Amino acid sequence: MSFFLRYKWHFLFWAVYFVFWTTLSVRVYHAPFALALLTTLSWAIGQGLLNYYCIYRLFPLYFNTRRYGIFSLILAAGLVVSVVFILGFQMLVFAVAREPLFYSVGAGFGYVLLGSLNSVFIVIAIKSIRDKVRNDRRTHLLEKEKTEHELSFLKSQMNPHFLFNAINSIYVLIRKDPELASHTLLKFADMLRYQLYECNADRIPIEQEIGYLDNYIGLEKLRRGHALYTEYHVGPEVRHFSIAPLLIIPFVENAFKYVSSYSDRPNRVAVNLRCRDGLFELSVENTFDEETSIVGGGGGSGIGLENVRRRLELIYNSHHHLDIRKEEKNYSVLLKIQVQ
């Protein structure tokens, strides 16, 4: 039963083939039904064997391996054998039925050869198109799977990177102010809950990402105190859309990590989020000191930042713009993502 289900379209094609050509022979050439049926059978056997041999033997062995010369020679030989079989079968059938053949042997050979050539070329075209579609689909699925694995790997890299910094922050606070450290630990627990249970989806509401960012900036402000001036603003329009998780925090984390530590001038981190015309914008700026900040490659290229660059390319492709600048005593990031 499974055999018939697997090749149901083949059976349907040959059923239609027999009905069409037998009916045409009866009506156009006024051939007896039995003679028309046997004539159609000669074409079906000759062309069918050649076409199936071409599809299941010649294509895998020679055409797909680009051995086109051998493929053409064997196909040409197969065409001759097919034409001789069809023509010989028909001559035998008409001789037994004592009916005159519609054409001479020479003209019949050319006619049958032309018909077989058309059949083979159609089969080759269909087979080539079908294989290309299947290969393209397989390639697309493999690329999609590779991209998903790479995204999962990048996210797994990013989380330990942030956890390392957060634990260091709490450790510093425990020594300075145990009560403040307790409050900070609650924020850190909320952040862990977010990472473990809420950001596993491909997209999350922007409100959740902002909540995570609130806790992170709050933790940094508590840890650094008055030594750092922090500006943080989220526009009221930044809501009701989704974004890939953990895209914002690496830029903010990078700003706090590499911010300057001047004693005679302000040390500043500014984070602004807004959305307009379907475009989400994240602006992050920080002061830095060339002598004390390790800012590789022109500005903050830690593992989190490198990962988020790659994630943006994989997820948003041409639907995002990232501008990172290092100016005198100032480092800035502007990220724009099309979200609507």
List pLDDT tens digits, range 55-89: 888 888 888 788 889 988 998 999 999 999 998 88
Residue 229: band (very low, low, confident or very high) from pLDDT cuts 50, 70, 90: very high
pLDDT at 335: 95
Mean pLDDT confidence for 247-267: 86
pLDDT at 280: 95
pLDDT at 26: 86
Mean pLDDT confidence for 1-9: 70
pLDDT at 296: 42
* Three-state secondary structure readout of the chain: CHHHHHCHHHHHHHHHHHHHHHHHHHHHCCCCHHHHHHHHHHHHHHHHHHHHHHHHHHHHHHHCCCCHHHHHHHHHHHHHHHHHHHHHHHHHHHHHCCCCCCCCHHHHHHHHHHHHHHHHHHHHHHHHHHHHHHHHHHHHHHHHHHHHHHHHHHHHHHHHHHHHHHHHHHHHHHHHCHHHHHHHHHHHHHHHHHHHHHCCCCCEEHHHHHHHHHHHHHHHHHHHHHHCEEEEEECCCCCCCEECCCCCHHHHHHHHHHCCCCCCCCCEEEEEEEEECCEEEEEEEEECCCCCCCCHHHCCCCHHHHHHHHHHHHHCCCCEEEEEEEECCEEEEEEEEECC
Mean pLDDT confidence for 309-338: 88
- Average confidence score pLDDT of the chain: 82
Mean pLDDT confidence for 299-310: 64
CATH code of the region 177-338: 3.30.565.10
List pLDDT tens digits, range 132-162: 888 888 777 767 666 665 556 555 555 565 6
pLDDT at 301: 47
All CATH 3.30.565.10 domain ranges in the chain, comma separated = 177-338
List pLDDT tens digits, range 181-190: 787 788 888 8
Query: Does pLDDT of 198 surpass 80?
Result: no
Residue 300: band (very low, low, confident or very high) from pLDDT cuts 50, 70, 90: very low
Residue 21: band (very low, low, confident or very high) from pLDDT cuts 50, 70, 90: confident
List pLDDT tens digits, range 199-222: 777 788 999 999 989 988 887 887
